[in-house]
Structure 1
Amino acid sequence: MDRAVLREDMVDGLRHRNESLLSEASVASAMGSVPRHDFFDDDRTAYADRETERLGTRVLAPSTVARLFDALAPDPDDSVLIVGAGIGYTAALAAEIVGPQRVEAVDITRRVVYEARENLASAGYDAVLVDCRDGSEGLPEYAPYDRILLEAAAVNPPRALLDQLAPDGRLVMPLGARDQTLVSVEGGDVTERHGGVAFAPLLVEGEQSGAVERNRTHREDRERAQQAAQSRTGWEQDWIDWDGY
Structure 2
Amino acid sequence: MNSVQGVGMTSQRTRARMVARLREQGIRDERVLTALGTVPRHIFVEPALAHRAYEDTALPLGFGQTISQPYVVARMIELLIADRNVKNALGKTLEVGAGCGYQTAVLAQLTREVYAMERIAPLLARARDNLRQLRLAQVRFKHGDGHLGIPEAKPFDTIILAAAASHVPQPLLDQLAPDGRLMMPLGDENQVLLLVENSAQGFVETRFDAVRFVPLLSGVE
CA distance in 2, matches of 1:174, 1:149: 9
The 8 Å contact of residues 35 and 109 in structure 2, kept in 1 or not, is answered as yes
Runs of 4+ that moved beyond 4 A: none
- Tell me the residue number matched to 1:94: 107
- Tell me the residue number matched to 2:154: 143
CA distance in 2, matches of 1:136, 1:46: 29
Q: Pick from 159, 170, 176 the counterpart of residue 165 of structure 1.
A: 176
The 8 Å contact of residues 22 and 33 in structure 2, kept in 1 or not, is answered as no
- Tell me the residue number matched to 1:80: 93
TM-score by length of 2: 0.85
> How much has 1:124 moved relative to structure 2?
2.3
Q: Which has the higher contact order (CA 8 A, sep 6+)?
A: 2
> How much has 1:189 moved relative to structure 2?
3.2
Q: Pick from 45, 50, 53 the counterpart of residue 46 of structure 1.
A: 53
The one-character-per-residue Cα deviations of 1:178-218 (angstroms, maximum 9, x if unpaired) are 1111010012634322211111211001xx6xx5xxxxxxx
- Tell me the residue number matched to 2:119: 108
The one-character-per-residue Cα deviations of 1:162-193 (angstroms, maximum 9, x if unpaired) are 01110110000011111111010012634322
- Tell me the residue number matched to 1:192: 206
SS in 2 for 1:91: helix
CA distance in 1, matches of 2:216, 2:149: 12
The 8 Å contact of residues 174 and 181 in structure 1, kept in 2 or not, is answered as yes
- Tell me the residue number matched to 2:21: 13
Letter in 1 for 2:71: S
- Tell me the residue number matched to 1:202: 216
Letter in 1 for 2:214: A
The one-character-per-residue Cα deviations of 1:54-76 (angstroms, maximum 9, x if unpaired) are 13211111112112111222753
**Computing the radius of gyration over CA atoms, which structure comes out larger, 1 or 2?**
1
Q: Pick from 33, 38, 52 the counterpart of residue 33 of structure 1.
A: 38
CA distance in 2, matches of 1:201, 1:67: 19
Structure 1 residues 76 and 145: CA distance shift in structure 2, 3 A: farther
**Structure 1: runs of 5+ lacking an equivalent:** 212-245
Letter in 2 for 1:64: V
SS in 2 for 1:26: helix
Between Structure 1 and Structure 2, the one with more helix by share is: 1
CA distance in 2, matches of 1:140, 1:182: 24
The one-character-per-residue Cα deviations of 1:102-155 (angstroms, maximum 9, x if unpaired) are 111001111111011001111222441111110000111211110000111111
Q: What's the C-alpha RMSD, in Å, of the aligned pairs? A: 1.7
The one-character-per-residue Cα deviations of 1:217-241 (angstroms, maximum 9, x if unpaired) are xxxxxxxxxxxxxxxxxxxxxxxxx
Trace 1:224-243 onto structure 2 (pairs within 5 A).
none
Q: Percent identity?
A: 38
Between Structure 1 and Structure 2, the one with more strand by share is: 2
- Tell me the residue number matched to 1:243: none
Letter in 2 for 1:48: E
SS in 2 for 1:87: coil
- Tell me the residue number matched to 1:63: 71
Aligned pairs, how many? 202
Structure 1 residues 37 and 123: CA distance shift in structure 2, 3 A: farther
> How much has 1:157 moved relative to structure 2?
0.6
Q: Pick from 149, 160, 163 the counterpart of residue 152 of structure 1.
A: 163
SS in 1 for 2:98: coil
Trace 1:119-130 onto structure 2 (pairs within 5 A).
119-130=130-141
SS in 2 for 1:120: helix
Letter in 1 for 2:56: D
Structure 1 range deviating more: 114-123 or 68-77: 68-77
The 8 Å contact of residues 38 and 123 in structure 1, kept in 2 or not, is answered as no
